[in-house]
Structure 1
């Protein structure tokens, strides 16, 4: 990367002194210099000097472990006016926006560098080519590889929470800067072009500083839907066909001599789903009308993307019937289309010898009709489905092959569009619906009461409920009387399902699954079937068969529910009515696992172990009942909510759970990181494909699976894991259940301000703001509250006592745990994620937050951290946290001093807020500054919740 001969007199980041790569160091130094000059311009020399002084003090404090430097910085902050501190916050927050983008570009650069160095015999690690090379090296024949690919079913699922803390405007400015930095890297830029690019970057930074960091109003669900669709319609739309192309190329490279191109064709294995606009659990803003609007805008965006792609094809696919043969099927299709839509006469004249172009224009005309009829009543719109559209694309590919242009059919824009048609259809991402089981229970009780079947359904025990539900599902008559006086909540539940029915008539792929939050009984599932029956989405036919339009997915979220999942599914699979439902859905059962609430319930180690055990148990019970299983992993971005490397998580799953099918949530800020740049998106998805193919290939052969499915392996390692988990959960519950804990948490974290931050449509608590307690607070703000003061407790607390107890109880435990770390991917993942989360903690800052509370909780946290650190370093053989992850270690080292400044300013603002005395505009300004501090630390830590 070229740099100006002399950097502007701005922030001196000294990135090269932190051990990061030379290209990244150069970028960070350039951005820091330009930012410094922009700070001086906008806020004046005094503010610039204050920013530099605070940075220097916190840098010296970090390098020399000198808390007195932090004290000096805190005193300097305390003497500043509020508008000056707001400027300081804006400066450091903008710095992290820039550094985060530079680090993303560095990932892209490294991957491209490794791709250039790769060979057929040594492909780039964790790439699609590497996955196929591993299969070939393992002796897998092409037919075996094709069998694996047929089983592959990967469905990332976008959710809005934890939502992205940055405004869309900030994201766009960041992306503009990233584009300019990439252009600056080009080896053939002239000095004049370099100067223009640097000036453009500086102007973009000026705009960042001049743009409001905080949204002026609360985020709406519609905002969140648009945010998710932006990424699906840009980087995801572009990347999915790239992954397919990478896989086709790898198959040609390693198996191309064995078969022709047609034999190397791929099944659709990568599709997207979304919760945004369909997840109403605890979010009253996701109304039936919002869900209807969401389904409409999904369809509209999909049709527009396909129309744009057809237009691009029309410009390049110009074979003439005077130069190449034209299949009769293509001519017949054109004539059939003319009966439905037509083109202007001049098009027929101009393109009469170009049948491929004519067909493409007719397909565009049909999409135009569908767009015009988005709001047409059911049955009054053009009958042109995504399936028929895909068939038209196949027809075009066949025509090109017959014309001797097969290469254009098998690679390039048409091949890409065929992949996009399979992956995105006319819906972009299938929308899931989700609601809490208690809402369904209340709705069913309301229906049964109105129908005169049961006055008080809620008073029944589980066995009685199952009898009532089974009888009603078998009964063909509806429960709803004419003009029923439904409870408002019941009406909303039914309205959503009626909207779903209408959407499925128009586009059968528009909806995904119906997810039931907090499933803890079979009746929770049958209640949903009854609601589906009442709205025409489920019915029992005269011959005993069931027709069902939706998959129903139980969500297991607490430790108790995870432990009980196997028994619940066994009861479900022996329920005669549900068995018929399963048959109607191809004997496929989706099961969702909740990582956030299980961690909040049982602590880090127990949650991970309970989830791991549950996966094995659920897989075994599904196998024993001949049910095809798809796990849906509800992971968040942070380690405390199941975050971490997605490919590592896949390889860590129990062998019996590796069946090729997987769903996982892509949440809020994680979406922005993984999908803002096509290069990052491609790397993310290729790592998932690599992990999923590898794990599937390594799963036990079918002939030897029977013994593995008989039950969980009982061995010393599992017993030791259980012992650690039990002790870890005891320690965690002792912390959060202590009488002094909740007052301490409220005082020592900025949770009261997190609750007011306008960054999500969903409330932070299931209770009113004045009644927030541990049970009511959602897992996302719970983790956010720990991340801001740099404790990161949800990612490690309890690990110390769990491991220390095991090590003290048995002299052989150390060797056993070291062996587990060496050989067991699950243990490696859990230990490694804890180490990374601990490395992000910073107790020299956290203790300053603890000083704002009266309760002595801080020392308990310090003691547990030190126990965990000693035990994990002993087991992993490292001399310090992240010794085996130097890139992450260096990034944290670079970030710490700048994050420290943000924390010290936030602490001062919290003290001013609690001291009172500000009202009206002054109070509003103070609150706004606090919100900026939350955003800034979120950017620095690269996580909210």
Structure 2
């Protein structure tokens, strides 16, 4: 079959290069095992052939070692398996670097739509250009980096990937060889869990090395297409940051952590400025600018290398000095190097003295306790039974009196809450309002959750007329999403909150989480619940004259809201507010979509383009669902929800995950400061299990249940009800529904039930495994019929090939992991063997997770 042009490029730039450099890589001597690189291809082939025959992982490992007399001792076998893991981890890195190097050739802006290509079209169409200008003046994109552990590379490995990518681009074999040797000797994991500050430093690598350049470049490209400024009141792309500020369920985050991360972001930013300024100083060597240049030198150096006790916002002073230098260059020196001054001015306008806004997040239950404990000091004049009153009674009684109560003397979480609220004021003084201006309330169930939090600020020295904070409710479970409209209407109609919103420009941000709603209700119901909530909340906001921005907790694999994110935003329809796109990016989403200048530029440009295009009349009409289409989706979501809940309530559900996935061992993986579950000291309960751990466990099983289960049942019922043609029509017409289905297909393409096929005859879990497999087969069959294809992801051949290659690379890791899980039961009384098996399982998780970057 003849390859398309894109497939041919992928084959030559990625597949062939990987085969070439991998052969080079496999010849490198690796620690104590001389023949590891020689044996690994044979082991991979053995795994592939055995999986095709549905042989159990333990038997696959045993039959492999039976071929080699030197591997009789268990210690020698374990040693070789660990060496295989080391090689495969690094093969994944090599593949990442090769794909990154080929990115500009395998992705073209014109083909998928970008703001850059749209601007180029508008240059010759005055009407389109005017329309585009108006939209850009209203639109903003906010990307919020989070430390959720869905991918792991330490900073030292990220740096190697960057250098390796450049060497591959230049086809520099000598550098590639040296970097592969460096990669072989560089550890991939931490011996201890990272602290939240460690996580912040790791993510800040992307701020410093990617976003600092890309955000500025895109802003300049857009500005350059218009004759006069279009971003006077706002900036096109904003950056947010969660490590150090997100304390929801993470006991390792406290006010000291938040302060350290805030200071770290400032320090890293000023080092970026100082680096640029040193280059600038080498060019601007003229008379008339000495005083301003000396002041800038001092400002950048002091903030980069001297830690101030009480830092202050110096953005205006920096810009004033740069503008003064620019003025001299224009008047006296023929405008030489003015473009370099403009570049630095633009960056200082974009990043200020803070780099990325540090969001604060805490659970509503913690905040209710803080309100309860602070009332006695604040003379709140509330009845003793206040906490048991109805919501209506609470709303009547809440007062907004200013006070200055102690920040200490409570339980640890309450003390942290009051200390952090005061710290937010310090951060605004140090970096400007945008340094930290959002408090996100997780598990927000009532309007009083927001209003009580406001009183905590007023009891902590903040003033009503200077409350420069946006209060952001987070609705995540299916039930909370249904109640969101009631909560927000109570807020919009509350006198004090109305005044507060007015002081904030009548702008409200609402966060909608995807992960927990998937765990709660399954893939289709999660998507539908969020869509419904957005329609209702948009209608409500428009009725009250509120400018609404949805902040989407999406990221990682499709089961956690990832996938083709830009297509969601491009197909919202007129019923959903889309003037501002805000979303979390995390784990492999960061490394795969924003890990290099090329990929970040491309993906940010796509998101901006999606937001702009979605507002155009023809797109709005096409993507707005009719009542009949909504009814069809609601019916399918309900069927899917019932199927998923039925599975989740099966008594074997959690036992299956605990016994056949690495779930219980995820807490030992040193990639996150956050516990695997919220109730870290108690027994494992599904409601306490974090969505990331939940999805990761199914990913390791190669079953990806949260990404598809129930969808097949929904499609089958639609057929039985005689509405299959309507479903097919919906897939062809609705961009939202098509994206939901395509992301589901992407999730399924990563599943491989052959690896666990041995469980079909298991006395305990046999029927449960067959239940999972039957739903997968049903969903796969109906998805192929729905999309008119013969294989999953047929419409996206590059992604299909990329996933296929990645899955082949890590297949031995999956087999080793499941072999070790099988061996645990029979060796449970051998403490040393259990220790080694657990270590094998933990080590395989890294490579399997890292290889999944293309599902982001």
> 1:498 aligned to 2:498?
no
Task: Report the CA distance between 1:41 and its aligned residue.
Answer: 7.4
> 1:593 aligned to 2:503?
no
Match 2:165 to one of 171, 174, 178: 178
Match 1:790 to one of 681, 702, 706: 702
Match 2:575 to one of 651, 656, 669: 656
Deviations 1:570-628 (A, max 9, x none): 11100111111111211111110101111111100010011111112111111111111
SS of 1:857's partner is helix
Deviations 1:606-661 (A, max 9, x none): 10011111112111111111111111111021100000123112113232334421
> 1:829 aligned to 2:739?
yes
> 1:486 aligned to 2:486?
no
Task: Report the CA distance between 1:244 and its aligned residue.
Answer: 2.2
Match 2:44 to one of 26, 30, 55: 55
> 1:615 aligned to 2:534?
yes
Distance 1:751 1:622 in 2: 41
Q: 1:58 and 1:369, CA in 2 relative to 1: closer, same or farther beyond 3 A?
A: closer
Task: Report the CA distance between 1:833 and its aligned residue.
Answer: 0.5
Contact 1:449 1:456 in 2 (8 A): no
Deviations 1:672-729 (A, max 9, x none): 223332111111111112212212334889xx99xx9xxx976211100000000000
Q: 1:846 and 1:97, CA in 2 relative to 1: closer, same or farther beyond 3 A?
A: farther
SS of 1:908's partner is helix
Q: Which moved more, 1:201-210 or 1:86-95?
A: 201-210
Distance 2:262 2:269 in 1: 11
1:781 corresponding residue in structure 2:
693
Task: Report the CA distance between 1:920 and its aligned residue.
Answer: 6.6
Distance 1:847 1:696 in 2: 48
Task: Report the CA distance between 1:61 and its aligned residue.
Answer: 5.4
Task: Report the CA distance between 1:524 and its aligned residue.
Answer: 0.7
Distance 1:462 1:779 in 2: 29
Contact 1:429 1:510 in 2 (8 A): yes
Q: 1:748 and 1:44, CA in 2 relative to 1: closer, same or farther beyond 3 A?
A: same
> 1:932 aligned to 2:843?
yes
Distance 2:31 2:417 in 1: 55
Contact 1:160 1:224 in 2 (8 A): yes
Match 1:23 to one of 7, 13, 18: 13
2:318 corresponding residue in structure 1:
389
SS of 1:755's partner is helix
Distance 2:228 2:546 in 1: 34
Contact 1:593 1:632 in 2 (8 A): yes
Q: 1:533 and 1:372, CA in 2 relative to 1: closer, same or farther beyond 3 A?
A: farther
Contact 2:571 2:619 in 1 (8 A): no
Q: 1:365 and 1:445, CA in 2 relative to 1: closer, same or farther beyond 3 A?
A: same
Q: 1:796 and 1:917, CA in 2 relative to 1: closer, same or farther beyond 3 A?
A: closer
Match 1:563 to one of 482, 489, 510: 482
Q: 1:561 and 1:538, CA in 2 relative to 1: closer, same or farther beyond 3 A?
A: farther
1:10 corresponding residue in structure 2:
none
Q: 1:33 and 1:400, CA in 2 relative to 1: closer, same or farther beyond 3 A?
A: same
Task: Report the CA distance between 1:461 and its aligned residue.
Answer: 2.1
SS of 1:632's partner is strand
> 1:904 aligned to 2:815?
yes
Match 1:941 to one of 831, 852, 855: 852
Q: Which moved more, 1:16-25 or 1:452-461?
A: 16-25
Q: 1:885 and 1:162, CA in 2 relative to 1: closer, same or farther beyond 3 A?
A: same
Contact 1:658 1:699 in 2 (8 A): no
SS of 1:840's partner is coil
Distance 1:139 1:878 in 2: 41
Q: 1:740 and 1:78, CA in 2 relative to 1: closer, same or farther beyond 3 A?
A: farther
Deviations 1:140-177 (A, max 9, x none): 35443322111121110000002532333333333332
Q: Specify the structure having the higher radius of gyration (Cα).
A: 1
Deviations 1:311-357 (A, max 9, x none): 22222134x5xxxxxxxxxxxxxxxxxxxxxxxxxxxxxxxxx2235
> 1:241 aligned to 2:165?
no
Task: Report the CA distance between 1:360 and its aligned residue.
Answer: 2.4
Distance 1:425 1:232 in 2: 14
Contact 1:636 1:666 in 2 (8 A): yes
Contact 2:660 2:818 in 1 (8 A): no
1:768 corresponding residue in structure 2:
680
**Mapping for residues 251-262 of structure 1, pairs under 5 Å:** 251=225, 260=227
2:92 corresponding residue in structure 1:
96
2:756 corresponding residue in structure 1:
846
2:641 corresponding residue in structure 1:
729
Contact 1:54 1:73 in 2 (8 A): no
Deviations 1:731-753 (A, max 9, x none): 00000011222212211211112
Distance 2:518 2:231 in 1: 43
**Mapping for residues 319-398 of structure 1, pairs under 5 Å:** 320=286, 354-370=287-303, 374-377=307-310, 385-398=314-327
SS of 2:585's partner is strand
SS of 2:668's partner is coil
1:446 corresponding residue in structure 2:
373
Contact 1:272 1:429 in 2 (8 A): yes
Q: 1:721 and 1:78, CA in 2 relative to 1: closer, same or farther beyond 3 A?
A: farther
Distance 1:141 1:403 in 2: 39
SS of 1:629's partner is strand
Contact 2:570 2:610 in 1 (8 A): yes
Task: Report the CA distance between 1:69 and its aligned residue.
Answer: 10
Q: 1:213 and 1:372, CA in 2 relative to 1: closer, same or farther beyond 3 A?
A: closer
Deviations 1:853-879 (A, max 9, x none): 822211111111122122222222222
Deviations 1:400-446 (A, max 9, x none): 4445745854xx42222222112211100010000000000011011
Task: Report the CA distance between 1:234 and its aligned residue.
Answer: 1.2
Structure 1 gaps, min length 5: 1-15, 116-122, 185-196, 253-259, 321-353, 540-545
Q: Which moved more, 1:72-81 or 1:873-882?
A: 72-81
SS of 1:771's partner is coil
Deviations 1:870-898 (A, max 9, x none): 22222222222111111122223323333
Structure 2 gaps, min length 5: 1-5, 72-76
Q: 1:549 and 1:68, CA in 2 relative to 1: closer, same or farther beyond 3 A?
A: closer
Distance 1:264 1:550 in 2: 22
Contact 2:142 2:240 in 1 (8 A): yes
Task: Report the CA distance between 1:98 and its aligned residue.
Answer: 1.1
Contact 2:244 2:261 in 1 (8 A): yes
2:246 corresponding residue in structure 1:
279
Give the TM-score normalised by structure 1. Answer: 0.83
1:675 corresponding residue in structure 2:
594
**Mapping for residues 691-730 of structure 1, pairs under 5 Å:** 691-698=610-617, 715-730=627-642
Q: 1:417 and 1:846, CA in 2 relative to 1: closer, same or farther beyond 3 A?
A: farther
Distance 1:133 1:309 in 2: 29
Aligned residues: 838
1:625 corresponding residue in structure 2:
544
Contact 2:189 2:670 in 1 (8 A): yes
Q: 1:850 and 1:937, CA in 2 relative to 1: closer, same or farther beyond 3 A?
A: farther
Distance 2:676 2:670 in 1: 11
Distance 1:492 1:918 in 2: 44
Contact 1:128 1:246 in 2 (8 A): no
Contact 2:552 2:582 in 1 (8 A): yes
SS of 2:511's partner is strand
Q: 1:504 and 1:677, CA in 2 relative to 1: closer, same or farther beyond 3 A?
A: same
**Mapping for residues 260-271 of structure 1, pairs under 5 Å:** 260=227, 268-271=235-238
Deviations 1:10-62 (A, max 9, x none): xxxxxx999951122231012211121015775223x4443222222234457
Contact 1:790 1:840 in 2 (8 A): yes
Deviations 1:793-852 (A, max 9, x none): 111111011111112112xx2221122111111011001101111111111113346777
